[in-house]
Amino acid sequence: MLNNNVFIIGLGLIGGSVALAIKKEHPNCKIVGYDKDPEVMNQAKLLKVIDAEEQSIQVAAENADIIIISIPVLETEAMIEKLSNFQLKENVIITDTCSTKKSIVQKAAKFKNVEEHFIGGHPMAGSHKSGVTAAKDNLFENAFYILTPYANQTNSKMNDLKNLLKGTNAKFIELSTDDHDEITGILSHFPHIIAASLVGQAHMYEEKYPLLPRLAAGGFRDITRIASSNPAMWADITLRNKDVLLGLLNEWNHGMQDIMEMIKQENHEQLLQFFSNAKAYRDMLPVHKKGVMHSFYDLYVDVPDYPGVISEITGYLAEENISITNIRILETREDIYGVLRISFQSVKDREQAMECLKNRTSFEMFLQ
């Protein structure tokens, strides 16, 4: 059982959840927190996410055995610069939680004997909610937690950090910064750009077709869900992974040119192959696993359109303490069944909900 002073800079969803996971596994650790918003620090203290708050970054950092930086990427780079000027403990371990790693690790060269102190980190989990009030000690359970050590980093430091983060119940993977940034670029950063561009294109046609927003409420809204993410954070991420993203965008442009040619030539065989290849690869991807982007687990319920049906269903779920993250009516018209989509944060919650509703209703349910 560890007995360290842990200093967490940034008490949002990720920083708060890391703090709770550490407290769960290592109750003897003292968690000191700092956030630029004093009200957030106060909330974290009241919710017992941290043991103490500290107004002075320098005081807390110089007393810490482990420092975890959990703020946006550009702010993290500035914080590393600041920390490098403090008199930190000789054996201190410093890590971060940013989703880009190369620029962070390069900036960490500011630390003396950086290989002995800094280990880049990226817990690949999230939530539709944000802020310390949404922090959970099991947020990272079964998620991948990427670590980007230096080539000559000692195993003891890596093991110390993994031991500290053991309570996350995450799956640790070690990658080079280049591999990390390219993988997250492909699976997360690039899709965010595409989703935002799809929304932008739809918005561009709204004046011409005023009905467009209403018609976009179904599948279009689903496939562009990630475009609702924090704009400032994604602007930072995009700039810090620009080389990878420019390369991917260039490849994407070439691919779109090929598809445009298939359409112009009315080449049914090539188009069929294009869609078939996409379907085959998508269908073989693991299900019910946590990846780079956080998942939503949806349950669809065919419900008759009568007053109180939604409160009836949510009431059953509430009685069994099953938490939902979102609920939406996809279609309701007179004399036909509507489709109620209920979203959950884990496959376990969804399975419990399905069992609950099976036992209490005659509604038809299906997964997608």
- Phi, psi (5° rounding) for residue 125? -150, 160
Determine the distance from the C-alpha atom of residue 102 to the mean position of all C-alpha atoms in its chain, rounded to a whole number: 19
| pLDDT greater at residue 18 or residue 131 | 18
pLDDT at 148: 95
Span 1-20, mean pLDDT?
Answer: 92
Distance CA(3)–CA(26), nearest Å, equals 7
Distance CA(154)–CA(157), nearest Å, equals 6
Paired tokens of 176: 């080079």
Place of tokens 């997360």: 188
β-pairing, 52-53 with 66-69? Answer: unpaired
pLDDT band at 307 (very low <50, low <70, confident <90, very high): confident
Is the pLDDT at 255 greater than 60, yes or no? yes
* Cβ atoms 264, 279 nearer than 8 A: no
Other Cβ atoms less than 10 A from the Cβ of 258: the count is 12
Distance CA(32)–CA(10), nearest Å, equals 11
| pLDDT greater at residue 359 or residue 105 | 105
Give all domains of the chain, ordered by start, each with its CATH number.
5-175 (3.40.50.720), 180-283 (1.10.3660.10), 297-367 (3.30.2130.10)
Determine the distance from the C-alpha atom of residue 170 to the mean position of all C-alpha atoms in its chain, rounded to a whole number: 13
Span 144-154, mean pLDDT?
Answer: 88
**pLDDT tens by residue, 169-208:** 999 999 999 999 999 999 999 999 999 999 999 999 999 9
